[in-house]
Amino acid sequence: MRVIRVGTRKSQLARIQTDSVVAVLKDLYPGLQFEIIAMSTTGDKILDTALSKIGEKSLFTKELEYALEKNEVDLVVHSLKDLPTVLPPAFTIGAVCKRESPYDAVIFHPKYAGQNLGTLPEKSVVGTSSLRRAAQLQRKFPHLEFKSIRGNLNTRLRKLDEQQEFSAIILAAAGLQRMGWQSRVGQLLYPEECLYAVGQGALGVEVRSKDQEVLDLVGVLHDPETLLRCIAERAFLRHLEGGCSVPVAVHTVLKDGQLYLTGGVWSLDGSDSLKETMQTTINVLAQHEDGPEDDVQRVGITARNISQGAQMAAENLGINLANLLLNKGAKKILDVARQLNDAH
């Protein structure tokens, strides 16, 4: 029986996410055996530094990619938002699974149960590992202070509950859902309050770009709507040259054949920002056409079984929105944010 080796980070959330993907694959391929191999990444080891300061794009993916390259694993399950928009040429994202909630969620210290960010006392400290969240929320809630908090979900919850430093912390709703901790969510942040990270809530399956067999194997996991939304989001981020050291955020909706993309950039303190929305017509159900472009990668993603025309339209939407913001001065905002972040 052929054994497919699946790489994952060691955290409980990463294991839950990997197990969920493997469970689907086992149902689809009862004749195959799946073995899960867990490993630690740079991002898991450096816990005393803000993510945006480490200055490494592939913080949570590098060691896993190394195992993929060395043929120690055949595929790796990631949170899509951890995967850079430019991957090393040897790798590709062979599947983008159906997205769960892309929103951010606020968890409050037990003494503030029932509150929301607007009602927290003056100078309350809110923990987040994300410049994107801090920049947007600082602007909306100037009475709060935002401070970096690191560690896996269990560690962050413990820091919130057992220490008196944080009044609340902000985490991705999808991770809390997967951990079964929805009951702790005190407030969901919708796009009018806080746009989310590119790819947030979706899982990506990374494989060797030349491994035809595994590409075919995982390709069936692609969720067309999630795929097209995430291609647009990733193209927007890539064209802006944003990473986790600058505040860039998005919101996408696919409805009645129209793909809407809202994207924004912020200064670190949120005082300066640009935000715009564009849309394009997209035919999700268009038949996939076999052609010379069959193996084309779009923002690191290979999806042979989804219409190339629809994928191209999504990618162009992201590029066009990025160009609109760049023409309005986004580069200056991002350059200053980058410099300030590096200097701190």
CATH 3.40.190.10 location in the chain: 104-189
pLDDT band at 313 (very low <50, low <70, confident <90, very high): very high
pLDDT band at 53 (very low <50, low <70, confident <90, very high): very low
Longest dimension (CA), the chain: 62
CATH number, domain 104-189: 3.40.190.10
Q: Is the pLDDT of residue 124 over 50?
A: yes
Give the model confidence (pLDDT) of 207-249 as tens digits: 999 999 999 999 999 999 999 999 999 999 999 986 667 899 9
Question: Please, is 303 exposed, middle or buried when counting C-beta atoms within 10 Å of its C-beta (0-12, 13-18, 19+)?
Answer: buried
Q: What is the mean pLDDT of residues 181-187?
A: 96
Q: Is the pLDDT of residue 286 over 90?
A: no
At 291 the pLDDT is 56
Is the overall model pTM greater than 0.75, yes or no? Answer: yes
Residues 6+ apart with CB under 8 A from 143: 120, 122, 123, 124
The crossing angle, in degrees rounded to 10, of helices 131-140 and 330-343 is 110
At 47 the pLDDT is 43
> In residues, how long is the chain?
344
Q: What is the mean pLDDT of residues 299-325?
A: 96
**Active-site residue 211, yes or no?**
no
CATH 3.30.160.40 location in the chain: 3-101+198-343
Q: What is the mean pLDDT of residues 105-111?
A: 97
Return the C-alpha torsion angle 200, 203, 205, 209, nearest 10. -30
CB atoms inside a 10 Å sphere around CB 100: 18
Please name the residue that has the structure tokens 């159906």.
98
- Range of lowest pLDDT (38-47, 94-103, 136-145): 38-47
> What is the 8-class DSSP label of residue 167?
S
Question: Please, is 327 exposed, middle or buried when counting C-beta atoms within 10 Å of its C-beta (0-12, 13-18, 19+)?
Answer: exposed
Q: Say how far apart CA 222 and CA 70 lie, in whole Å.
A: 25
Q: Which CATH number fits domain 3-101+198-343: 3.30.2350.10, 3.30.160.40, 3.10.20.30, 3.20.20.70?
A: 3.30.160.40
Instruction: Pick the catalytic residue from 74, 82, 104, 211.
Output: 82
